[in-house]
Amino acid sequence: MDILTLDVAERSGRRVLMANGEIDLATAPMLEERLEELLSDGGVVLDLTAVSFIDSTGLRVILNAHQNAEDQAQSFPIVAVDGPVMRLFDITGVGNRLALFSSMDDALADE
Amino acid sequence: MSEGSAADSFRLSLPADPKQVGAARLFVATTFRMLGADEDLVADLKLAVSEAASAIVRAQGLAGRILIEISSVASGETVTIGPLTADDMAADDGIAPGDVVVAVFRDARIDEHKHALVIPVNRPRDS
- Contacts (Cβ under 8 Å, ≥6 apart) of A58: A23, A24, A27, A28, A31
Q: What is the pLDDT of residue B5?
A: 52
Per residue in B62-93, pLDDT (tens digit) is 899 999 999 998 888 999 999 999 999 997 77
Cβ atoms of residues B19 and A25 within 8 Å: no
pLDDT at A63 > cutoff 90: yes
**What pLDDT score was predicted for residue B3?**
45
**Binning pLDDT at 50, 70 and 90, where does residue B30 land?**
very high
- The complex scores an ipTM of 0.93
- Is there a contact between A91 and B25 if contact means CB atoms under 8 Å apart? no
Q: Give the residue-averaged pLDDT of B4-30.
A: 91
Tell which of B45, B46, B57, B58 to mutate to test the A interface (max A CBs under 10 Å): B46
- Reply yes or no on whether the pLDDT at B4 is more than 50: no
Inter-chain touch A53–B97, beta carbons under 8 Å: no
C-alpha A75/C-alpha A59 separation (Å) is 18
Average pLDDT for B38-47: 97
Q: Give the whole-number percent of chain A exceeding pLDDT 90.
A: 93
Quick one: average pLDDT of A2-20?
94
Cα nearest neighbour of B99 on chain A: A92
Mean pLDDT, range B107-112, rounded to an integer? 96
What are the pLDDT digits (tens) for A66-90?
999 999 999 999 999 999 999 999 9
Q: What is the mean pLDDT of chain B?
A: 91
pLDDT band at B127 (very low <50, low <70, confident <90, very high): very low
Instruction: Say how far residue B10 (Cα) sits from the centre of its chain.
Output: 12
Residues of chain A contacting residue B25, judged by C-beta atoms under 8 Å apart? 24, 53
Pairing of the two strands B109-111 and B76-82? unpaired
Percentage of residues in chain B having pLDDT higher than 90: 80
Q: Is the pLDDT of residue B126 over 60?
A: no
Give residue B122's pLDDT: 81
The verdict on a CB contact (< 8 Å) between B25 and A25 is: no
Q: Is B25 on the interface with A (CB under 8 A)?
A: yes
**Which pLDDT band, with edges at 50, 70 and 90, does B124 fall under?**
low
Buried b (16+ CB within 10 A) or exposed e, A29-58: ebbbebbeebbeeebbbbbbbebebbbbbb
pLDDT greater than 90 at residue B1: no
A102, pLDDT greater than 80? yes
Minimal-distance CA residue of chain A relative to B90? A56
